[in-house]
Structure 1
Amino acid sequence: MRVTEPGALVAPPEHRAPAGWRPDSWRGLPITQQPPWDPAALERVTEEIALLPPLVLPAEIRELHRSLAAVSAGEAFLLQAGDCAERFSSCTEQGVRGKLKVILQLAILLTYGAGLPVVKVGRIAGQFGKPRSQPTEVVDGVELPVFRGDIVNSPEPRAEARRPDVNRLLRAYHHSAATLDALRALTLGGSADLDQAHAWNQEFVRRTGPGQDYEKVADEITRALRFMAACGVDMNELRALHQVHLFTSHEALLPHYEQALTRYDEKSRAWFDTSAHMVWIGDRTRQLDGAHVELLSGITNPIGLKVGPSTTPEQLRQLCDRLDPNHVPGRLVLITRLGATNVTDLLPPLLRAVNETGHSVVWACDPMHGNTFVSRSGYKTRRFSDILTEIAMFFGVHRAEGTYPGGIHLELTGDDVTECLGGVEDVLDNQLGTRYETACDPRLNAGQSIQLAFHVAQFLRSSAWPAH
């Protein structure tokens, strides 16, 4: 079957808000993971945000929806990747460029290796909040409110820094806008040209095995482009060679912020959350009768849903029906985060439960969150081998069930950090503190990310999916 370019698909039917839904109908429902805001100050700031321009446009959101519909049909692959928790300080041209480079490298390896269009969605331009397992932590014998991301408080271990500050919601908006401006300039202004593939490979990556393998792929792409030009193809007319679409996403953790950026589009007569192209519900906030599910049930954006080990098939079936009552292809991205040792037992009944409902969803694997632990040296970390194993098991279960493994969801950085154990450079426990820079959870560095992409491309190549 010919692989269809996602952007060329006929627009899928759009999700419609259920009867009685309003942008504020979530208020008064059970809610978790919220900081103790000052109510009056919170309303003042969110009213100010509601008057600001949208961060993304409904037309861009629809374009992502078309692309995800192609993924749900097995005609494309989703790469969702980026920071665990963005920092305001990283919203610089250099910081954005570094994240973009590694995402483009992964996307080109998956496209070249598997022969599939890759839908690129960044955990970027809004991923400033993080759910936490406990409301407080003890630092040097002092109990402090936990760090909830730059959109809420600051990581410095001081009581004043950890106090929730509603003005950070407004700062998050402006930093998201600045990041989006940088992304658009980079992706549309030549930095994403395919003939720049070698330039995406950073020096500290180039000297590793995966970096050298990437250089070989880039060489082959360069030769292919020269061949096409020699055959008379006008390379300047092929926009796909010079521009890429990187969509944005974040966890919709703070409903007040998301409501402030939810806007009604007169043209399509639908509601859109204009804070990002795609937002997701976390494993800790997916209560069927809760505020987060209610808010996202009415917006037209593609919705992600984290599916952890405690998710039962019946719960997942009910959530699919609640969030996608009209069975719109690509509306839902189900992001499994089960842990390497749990996939073969827990994933099959979840796949069968969703199949029985008839929802045309995107299944994506988050191999990061189910494999986190504290090492002997005291650092929160993940093993590269566990991450790779969960992805391999994810593909294997889908193959056995006859369903399509539509994507991966990664926490990574373009920086030369030492936060995850193993990989080609074999980061050891006693080396974690060398360059441990994350604000929350451990991320793959650029070399580990590229190494992983080669494996994922191989998994896709070796799987006989009907759509390919």
Structure 2
Amino acid sequence: MADMSTPQRTWTPSSWMDLPAEQMPEYPDPDHLKQVLETLSTQPPLVFAGEARDLTADLARVCRGEAFLLQGGDCAETFDAAGADATRDKLKVLLQMAIVLTYGASMPVVKVGRIAGQYAKPRSKPTESVGGVEMASYKGDAVNGLAPTVENRRPDPSRLERMYHTSASTLNLLRAFTSGGFADLSRVHAWNQEFVAGSPQGQRYERMASDISRALDFLSAVGIDIGREATFNSVDFYTSHEALLLGYEQALTRQDSLSGDWFDCSAHMLWIGERTRQLDHAHVHFLSGVSNPIGCKVGPTMTPEELLELVDVLNPDNIPGRLTLISRMGKDKVGDALPPLLAATRDAGKNVVWVCDPCHGNTFTAESGYKTRHFDDVLAEIAGFFGAHQSEGTIPGGVHMELTGEDVTECLGGDQQIADLDLSQRYLTACDPRLNNAQSLEMAFQVAELLRDRPCARP
């Protein structure tokens, strides 16, 4: 077994294979899997080392309290929903949220999407019974199909190739949108979708957008050519996903020609989930050796001692922006479980970004049978996250949300007052429920108030 106390001296892109790995699919044809991974290893990278370094620098600003991280997107992307319209709408809602946070709290926002790679999901059980037939659980389009048949649920390596090509197409769209005029600040009104515009939050957003437009007109009037300023007509937008399928991640790992460092070029940022964060297991070991900014989910069972060990393995050089800890406690546990962890990293002088995932710890099954979350519970965990940081004198660095730009009915509450009986109207998620565009915008206004009121709200 690899010596986990010195991961950088023992690490290679394939050394994770010597360690136990949770949540990895069992493929019926290992030779087919090997062939697919060999093919992927010859493909161009999806992202580049320089982009990942830029994100690390941006996250270092978050670590110092000089910026705020907004990370969001689908619980599980699907191949069929990866078209231009869906990609544009996901980007729209994240741009809207970012501008609300920036305007409301005078704080720069680092924008990271759960997009162009979030095609695999860990599951609590490897199998499920559907109509009395036992079959593999759906683990994301990268592994198997959503339709509940034994054949469709069988892990298929060819899906990894489709994930690569779909991610490449999505990244091409994102780059075109963010640099080709769509993200121009003068288009801030155009980001408000029709089905949101008439809502209270949509109207609030329009008033804010009008203020921004007047500010831009003023800058133009005093001689600033905002059309030529990159600050106004493009945005930096990064991609992320959970690094669950280590064979795929290894196949997309490349050695940077400038620095000699290894980067996982499947996304700018990768994270380890709550179910795969074991210190002596494969997922922690693999991500310890790539130079991307990385994240790790932190649940209510984490102890301060275990957390500090994990931080030492994943960020031994204590580099600001390298490691993001993603708290996912649940609204009833965050007040008790989070402060000791914040104190541990603070007292040990660890440079980490603390981010709140308020979605996963607040999921339940409604009376109608749909898995859902309540808007008020999500907001309550975020408020508890900010409160814990205030009590410990630490920096609340961001939020990590499951959301969509679509007009879905998957989460209860919010100004739309979505009720249990409404869930069936537009429940479209392939896995966990997502906040819709109106709920996401409403949440952004609420977070902006918390961010504005924190003691270290401004750089």
Q: TM-score, normalised by structure 1?
A: 0.96
SS for the counterpart of 1:27 is helix
* 1:446 and 2:432 are equivalent in the alignment: no
Q: Which amino acid aligns with 1:36?
A: E
- What does residue 58 of structure 2 align with? 67
- What does residue 13 of structure 2 align with? 23
Q: CA deviation at 1:465?
A: 0.9
Judge conservation of contact 1:279–1:302 (CA < 8 Å) in 2.
yes
Q: CA deviation at 1:256?
A: 0.3
* 1:155 and 2:146 are equivalent in the alignment: yes
Q: 1:271 aligns with which of 246, 249, 262?
A: 262
Judge conservation of contact 1:155–1:161 (CA < 8 Å) in 2.
yes
Judge conservation of contact 1:309–1:346 (CA < 8 Å) in 2.
yes
- What does residue 33 of structure 1 align with? 23
Number of residue equivalences: 453
Judge conservation of contact 2:7–2:285 (CA < 8 Å) in 1.
no
- What does residue 13 of structure 1 align with? none
* 1:79 and 2:70 are equivalent in the alignment: yes
Greater Cα shift, 367-376 or 356-365: 356-365
Q: 1:94 aligns with which of 60, 64, 85?
A: 85
Q: CA deviation at 1:90?
A: 1.4
* 1:465 and 2:445 are equivalent in the alignment: no
- What does residue 5 of structure 1 align with? none
Judge conservation of contact 1:73–1:467 (CA < 8 Å) in 2.
no
Deviating above 2 A after TM superposition, structure 1's stretches of 4 or more consecutive aligned residues are: none
Judge conservation of contact 2:107–2:458 (CA < 8 Å) in 1.
no
Q: Which amino acid aligns with 2:67?
A: A
- In the alignment, the residues of structure 2 paired with residue 261 and residue 33 of structure 1 have an alpha-carbon distance, to the nearest angstrom, of 20
SS for the counterpart of 2:15 is coil
Indicate the RMSD between aligned Cα atoms, in angstroms. Answer: 1.0
- What does residue 298 of structure 1 align with? 289
Q: CA deviation at 1:467?
A: 5.3
Matches within 5 A, 1:353-372: 353-372=344-363
Q: 1:396 aligns with which of 387, 403, 421?
A: 387
- In the alignment, the residues of structure 2 paired with residue 312 and residue 378 of structure 1 have an alpha-carbon distance, to the nearest angstrom, of 34
- What does residue 3 of structure 2 align with? none
Matches within 5 A, 1:215-226: 215-226=206-217
Q: CA deviation at 1:98?
A: 0.6
SS for the counterpart of 2:450 is helix
User: For structure 1, which runs of at least 5 residues remain unmatched after alignment?
Assistant: 1-15
Per-residue CA deviation, residues 225-252 of structure 1 (Å, 9 max, x unaligned), is: 0011011111122111000111000000
Greater Cα shift, 90-99 or 276-285: 90-99
Structure 1 vs Structure 2: percent identity of aligned residues? 57
Per-residue CA deviation, residues 440-468 of structure 1 (Å, 9 max, x unaligned), is: 00000000000000000000111121753
Judge conservation of contact 1:17–1:270 (CA < 8 Å) in 2.
no
Per-residue CA deviation, residues 172-213 of structure 1 (Å, 9 max, x unaligned), is: 000000000000011100000111111110010011111110
| Change in CA separation of 1:218 and 1:466 when aligned onto 2, cut-off 3 Å | closer
Q: Which amino acid aligns with 2:69?
A: L
User: For structure 2, which runs of at least 5 residues remain unmatched after alignment?
Assistant: 1-5
- In the alignment, the residues of structure 1 paired with residue 148 and residue 228 of structure 2 have an alpha-carbon distance, to the nearest angstrom, of 54
Judge conservation of contact 1:126–1:250 (CA < 8 Å) in 2.
yes
Per-residue CA deviation, residues 256-306 of structure 1 (Å, 9 max, x unaligned), is: 000001111121110000000000000000000000001000000001000
Per-residue CA deviation, residues 22-81 of structure 1 (Å, 9 max, x unaligned), is: 001100211110111132111111010000000000010010010000000000000000
Matches within 5 A, 1:86-165: 86-165=77-156
Per-residue CA deviation, residues 342-387 of structure 1 (Å, 9 max, x unaligned), is: 0110001111111232221100000000000111100000000000
